[in-house]
Chains A and B, each alone.
Chain A
Amino acid sequence: MGTAIGAQTLRFLSTEWAEAARAQVDRGPGETVMAGKQESYWEWIAATREAYSYSWALGVREPASGGGGVSYLRLGWRDGRCADATIVGPDEQVSADFVIQGTRETWRRFFAGELNLQRMVVDKMLRLEHGDILVFFQGVFFFVESLAALEQVPTSFG
């Protein structure tokens, strides 16, 4: 996986963390991950990414006891580059092509490396709350590889 080794641990949903997340996702998979999968797969990912210009709002749903609001990491893609990252607070409107939500506990377990990325989707630990499902799935393996990159960002939930 791309180079998160030695990187500073950052607080989840902080501005610095959002920028680290953007950089890591933009960097994509490292050599070890690339070597473990066949070339045609990476060609598929590259073809999907090449003109990718959608935005993702990755939502963090707080438990009811914590107010039940949703905060987001919004990642904007432009022509295959992850161009911007912003944090959208629970009191703000989020606007993105695809709004995907999970609970705070799901994200905590994700960054702890406890979750299988495929199961996060098929078991609906992440739910697509807004956006065209078919268009989203036409790039699903790119999304999953981006999740794999995001998982490498050292994240604290203190």
Chain B
Amino acid sequence: MAEMSSLLIKSVEQSSLQELGKIGIDDMIDYVHKDLKKLPEYIDLYKRYFKHRWNAYDLDFTQDAIDWRTKMSEEEREAFKEIAAAFHHAERQVEIELPVFMLAGSEDAKLYLATQIEDEARHTLFFDRFYREVVGLPGESVQDLLTASFEYVPESFVGAFGLLAYLADDLRRDPEDPARRVRYATAYFLWTEGVLALTIMKITLTYCRNRGYLPGYYTGFIASCRDEARHVQFGMRFLRDAIQEDPRLLREVHETLRTELAMNGGVSKPAPLEPLGWSADEVTKFMIRQVDSKLSDVGIDIPPDIRDMVANIQPEIAGG
């Protein structure tokens, strides 16, 4: 990832919600990674939350609704709906599955996790507003919108997000168990947040920026990406510390990654990337870079068989 100037870091750190609309996605992704080598303390991530917090009700989707109806092609709308629906449900899933991780760990970590749960709830609401006010899906309640948008969610969603749901269930049986916590953290923070979510952010935000469409979506999602920096940094710090404390836990990281990567090939329909200006090859390269950068920055080694699986990764369109 590219080095960021102090001026750019300040701009990303201190931008208001409206000003964030001017930040480019590549700069924001660099920001996600900039602290991975010297991961912040949990309490610093907690403090940072108050600088980053935004309100999903402050977004204006008026122009987005015009762009959606009059500028985007049918093909673009269908592709965008599918990709955004996966994210809508992914946000909801990471929101409801995170509290179980807060039942153990340090008090500093618990304080931080309370902020991330609020982030994830806000991101779910952001997609609720987008589907309601821009796409025009029917429904009175948040639940109604989730039901309506699930129709567009790809079948492969059951892989990464079914696994996360079941790992959360398993962790609930013994929230203190280090192996269960490391499996869960690998699936949640490394794979779902660190690879899948950033991929969707890159695809959809690049499309919006290049075409000049959907400014409300761009603003809300780039703000979500800034939140993502804290989420990824928290998770990678947890994994780094857990493995340093007990190196045997590296096996749990490997087994979880093997499972995520094994499921990655089971895609029943090709991801609709081309209407949004992407090729499968470009997305694959981006995903591989996301895996490699997290593992190398935090010092997690992977054996050759996982390295081969990473090299054969397929585009996967979900993340939260």
Q: A: which residues have CB within 8 A of B?
A: 37-38, 40-41, 44-45, 116-119, 121-124, 127-128, 133-134, 136-138, 140-141, 144
Contacts and interface: CB of A to CB of B under 8 A. Distances in A.
B170 interface: yes
B263 A141 contact: yes
A133 B157 CA distance: 16
A32 B266 CA distance: 19
17 contacts: A37-B269, A40-B265, A41-B269, A117-B158, A118-B155, A121-B165, A122-B157, A124-B165, A133-B163, A133-B167, A133-B183, A134-B256, A140-B158, A140-B266, A141-B158, A144-B155, A144-B158
A44 B265 contact: yes
A142 to B, nearest CB: 9
Given A133-B170, A138-B259, A118 B158 contact: yes
Interface in B114-163: 150, 153, 155-159, 161-163
A124 B170 CA distance: 12
Contact of A137 (B150, B156, B159, B267): B159
B282 interface: no
Interface in B70-114: 89, 93
A140 B270 contact: no
B43 interface: no
Interface string B260-289: 001101111110000000000000000000
Interface in B156-181: 156-159, 161-163, 165-167, 169-170
Contacts of A128: 166, 169-170
B255 A134 contact: yes
A140 B162 contact: yes
**Residue among A118, A124, A128, A137 with the highest chain B CB neighbour number at 10 A:** A137
Given A38-B267, A122-B89, A141-B266, 20 more contacts: A37-B155, A37-B268, A38-B269, A41-B267, A44-B266, A118-B157, A118-B158, A121-B166, A122-B93, A122-B157, A122-B161, A124-B169, A128-B170, A133-B166, A134-B183, A136-B166, A137-B263, A141-B158, A141-B159, A144-B158
Nearest to A138: B262
Interface of B: 89, 93, 150, 153, 155-159, 161-163, 165-167, 169-170, 183, 255-256, 258-259, 262-263, 265-270
Contacts of A119: 150
A106 to B, nearest CB: 15
Nearest to A124: B165
A116 B150 contact: yes
**Residue among A45, A123, A133, A144 with the highest chain B CB neighbour number at 10 A:** A133
A118 B263 CA distance: 14
B157 A137 contact: no
A122 B262 contact: no
Nearest to A119: B150
A41 B150 contact: no
A137 B266 contact: no
Contacts of A136: 166
A116 to B, nearest CB: 7
Nearest to B262: A138
A118 B151 CA distance: 11
A111 to B, nearest CB: 20
Contacts of B255: 134
Contacts of B267: 38, 40-41
Contacts of B259: 134, 137-138
Contacts of A41: 266-269
Nearest to B163: A137
Contact of B159 (A123, A134, A140): A140
